[in-house]
Amino acid sequence: MADRTTSLGDKVVYQIYVRSFQDSDGDGIGDLRGITQRLGYLQRLGVDYLWITPFFVSPQNDNGYDVADYCNVDPMFGTMDDFDELVRKARAHGIGLMLDMVFNHTSTQHEWFQRALAGDPKYLAYYKFADAAPDATAEDPGEPPTNWNSKFGGSCWEYVPSLNKWYLHLFDVSQADLNWDNPEVRSELVNVVRFWKDKGVSGFRFDVVNEVSKPDGTPNEWEDDHEGDGRRFYTDGPHVHQYLQELVRESGIDGMVTVGEMSSTTIDNCVRYSNPECHELSMTFSFHHLKVDYVDGEKWTLGRPDVAALREFFASWQEQMAARSGWNALFWSNHDQPRPNSRFGDCSTKESWRRSSELLPTCTHLLRGTPYIYQGEELGMTNPDFSDISQYRDVESLNYYQILQDDGKTPEGAFHIVHERSRDNSRTPVQWNATEKAGFTTGTPWIGIPANHTSINAEDEVADPDSVWSYYRGLIRLRKEMPVVQSGDVHFLDAMSNQVIAYERTLEDAPHGPRRLVVACNFSGKAAAALPSGELAEGSLLVENCDDYREEDGMLVLGPWCAVAFAW
Neighbours of 511 (CB within 10 A): 6
Measured from the CB atom, the residue of 174 and 524 that comes closer to ligand TEU is: 174
Contacts of 299 (CB under 8 A, 6+ apart): 291, 421
Of the candidates 207, 13, 212, the residue with the CA atom closest to the CA atom of residue 128: 212
Measured from the CB atom, the residue of 265 and 486 that comes closer to ligand TEU is: 265
| Helix, strand or coil, per DSSP, at residue 83 | helix
Measured from the CB atom, the residue of 374 and 561 that comes closer to ligand TEU is: 374
Q: Which residues bind ligand TEU (CB under 6 A)?
A: 62, 65, 102, 151, 171, 207-208, 261, 263, 299, 335-336, 396
d(CA 289, CA 167): 32
| Helix, strand or coil, per DSSP, at residue 204 | strand
- Shortest Cβ 458–ligand TEU spacing (Å): 24
- Shortest Cβ 169–ligand TEU spacing (Å): 10
Judge contact between 426 and 374, C-beta under 8 A: yes
Measured from the CB atom, the residue of 102 and 564 that comes closer to ligand TEU is: 102
User: Which residues are marked as active site?
Assistant: 207, 261
Neighbours of 391 (CB within 10 A): 15
- Shortest Cβ 88–ligand TEU spacing (Å): 27
Measured from the CB atom, the residue of 389 and 536 that comes closer to ligand TEU is: 389
Of the candidates 43, 68, 40, the residue with the CA atom closest to the CA atom of residue 54: 68
DSSP letters, 125-191, are TTB-EEEPPTT--SS---S-SS-PBPTTSSBSEEEETTTTEEEE-SS-TTEEEB-TTSHHHHHHHHH
- Shortest Cβ 336–ligand TEU spacing (Å): 4
| Helix, strand or coil, per DSSP, at residue 184 | helix
Judge contact between 34 and 45, C-beta under 8 A: no
Judge contact between 49 and 10, C-beta under 8 A: no
Of the candidates 447, 482, 441, the residue with the CA atom closest to the CA atom of residue 567: 482
- Shortest Cβ 130–ligand TEU spacing (Å): 21
d(CA 539, CA 516): 9
- Shortest Cβ 260–ligand TEU spacing (Å): 11
First CA to last CA distance, the chain = 29
Measured from the CB atom, the residue of 265 and 497 that comes closer to ligand TEU is: 265
Q: Determine the residue type at 327.
A: W
Q: Name the β-bridge partners of 359.
A: none
- Give the pairing type, strands 105-107 and 175-177: antiparallel
Nearest residue relative to ligand TEU (C-beta): 65
d(CA 449, CA 102): 28
d(CA 534, CA 449): 48
- Radius of gyration over alpha carbons of the chain, in Å? 24
3-state helix, strand, coil in the chain (%, to 5): 35, 20, 45
Measured from the CB atom, the residue of 339 and 355 that comes closer to ligand TEU is: 339
- Shortest Cβ 552–ligand TEU spacing (Å): 42
Measured from the CB atom, the residue of 62 and 236 that comes closer to ligand TEU is: 62
Per the document, the length of the chain is: 568
Of the candidates 82, 46, 99, the residue with the CA atom closest to the CA atom of residue 256: 99
Of the candidates 195, 208, 202, 189, the residue with the CA atom closest to the CA atom of residue 248: 189
Q: Determine the residue type at 376.
A: G
- Shortest Cβ 108–ligand TEU spacing (Å): 13
- Shortest Cβ 334–ligand TEU spacing (Å): 7
Measured from the CB atom, the residue of 344 and 471 that comes closer to ligand TEU is: 344
Judge contact between 14 and 46, C-beta under 8 A: no
